């Protein structure tokens, strides 16, 4: 007979990860697991935990095994159709929130929404905003819609290639966490990214293909004075600012994430004089 403590210890996983999986199997909190460490785990528990632990040992991200990940204090459903929301993307949300007054019905667009983490968070925290989200992947949109429902917000979802489904529409703010990893990046071969959809990660030889497309096309969908903000790789801020300037954006700037790495760049479409 195996106790809860033994199950955790024998899993071959870091204790924190083992606990996260066992919490899910038993449906109890971490405090409960600690308080009941000496209790015997049932055969069903043992079996369910063993299969989850094996997936984790094979490298599958915890977020995919559990089917959820927290982002900006909200829990989002995640599947292998989408990128797992990352803490650095909270910077993009913060910069967007600072540009969306609480009482204004601003039109906000999230390009390549994936799980919908950005669009749903903005809609939740700015209920007056009119949030639109697009993704090229239908399975991602199904999940994003479920996440909008989970948080009781209304977001318009479209399936399309960047602005392909938004002919003639304009916005007050466009945000995006596009694919921006170079296809030659060695970090694609290790850790969680191995399990994530390549379409959500890869931005061509220099990683900038999608950013180039977005920066080139966004101007036609931004009203004068409106902003474009997007996330990018640790070494791409100079190239991104150059792209924005070449397209005539004003107030072009990059902002550092919590690790001090320039992570988001953006600019404003000059107001007509
Ligand atoms: N930050 C992610 C990574 O390097 C990539 C996210 C993205 O391409 N949008 O793994």
Give pLDDT tens digits for 185-208. Answer: 999 999 999 999 999 999 999 999
Q: Of ligand 1's atoms, which has the minimum distance to the CA of residue 112?
A: 9
- The residue whose CB lies within 8 Å of the most ligand 1 atoms, and thus the one to mutate among 63, 69, 82, 86, is 86
**Interatomic CA distance for residues 59 and 248, integer angstroms:** 44
Residue 1 confidence class, pLDDT cut points 50, 70, 90: confident
- By alpha-carbon position, which residue is closest to atom 9 of ligand 1? 179
Helix residue ranges, H only, the chain: 4-10, 15-26, 30-35, 43-57, 62-66, 89-98, 117-125, 138-150, 198-201, 209-218, 237-246
Residue 270 confidence class, pLDDT cut points 50, 70, 90: confident
- pLDDT exceeds cutoff 90 at 68: yes
- pLDDT exceeds cutoff 70 at 48: yes
For residue 24, which phi and psi values (nearest 5 degrees)? -65, -45
Q: Which residue has tokens 């072009």?
A: 252
- The residue whose CB lies within 8 Å of the most ligand 1 atoms, and thus the one to mutate among 231, 234, 258, 263, is 231
Q: Of ligand 1's atoms, which has the minimum distance to the CA of residue 86?
A: 1
Q: For residue 201, what are the CA distances in angstroms to 138, 232, 249? A: 17, 11, 26
- pLDDT exceeds cutoff 70 at 40: yes
- pLDDT exceeds cutoff 80 at 273: no
**From the CA of 91, how far away is ligand 1's center (Å)?**
14
């Amino acid at each position: 007979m195996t106790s809860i403590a033994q199950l955790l210890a024998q899993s071959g996983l870091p204790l924190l990860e083992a606990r996260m999986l066992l919490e899910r199997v038993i449906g109890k909190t971490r405090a409960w697991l600690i308080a009941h460490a000496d209790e015997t785990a049932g055969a069903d528990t043992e079996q369910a935990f063993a299969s989850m632990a094996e997936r984790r040992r094979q490298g599958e991200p915890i977020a995919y095994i559990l089917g959820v990940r927290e982002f900006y204090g909200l829990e989002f459903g995640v599947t292998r159709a989408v990128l797992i929301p990352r803490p650095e993307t909270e910077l993009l949300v913060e910069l967007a929130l600072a540009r969306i007054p609480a009482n204004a019905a601003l039109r906000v667009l999230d390009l390549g929404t994936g799980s919908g983490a950005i669009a749903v968070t903005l809609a939740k925290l700015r209920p007056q905003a009119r949030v639109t989200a697009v993704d090229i992947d239908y399975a991602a949109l199904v999940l994003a819609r479920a996440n909008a429902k989970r948080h009781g917000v209304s977001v318009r979802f479209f399936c399309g290639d960047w602005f392909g489904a938004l002919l003639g529409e304009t916005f007050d703010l466009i945000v995006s966490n596009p694919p921006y990893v170079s296809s030659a990046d060695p970090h694609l071969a290790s850790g969680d990214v191995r399990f994530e959809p390549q379409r959500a990660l890869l931005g061509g030889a220099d990683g900038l293909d999608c950013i180039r497309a977005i920066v080139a096309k966004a101007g036609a969908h931004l009203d004068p004075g409106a902003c474009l903000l997007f996330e990018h790789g640790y070494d791409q801020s100079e190239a991104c600012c150059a792209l924005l300037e070449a397209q005539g954006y004003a107030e072009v700037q990059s902002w550092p994430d919590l690790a001090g790495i320039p992570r988001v760049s953006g600019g404003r479409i000059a107001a007509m004089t």
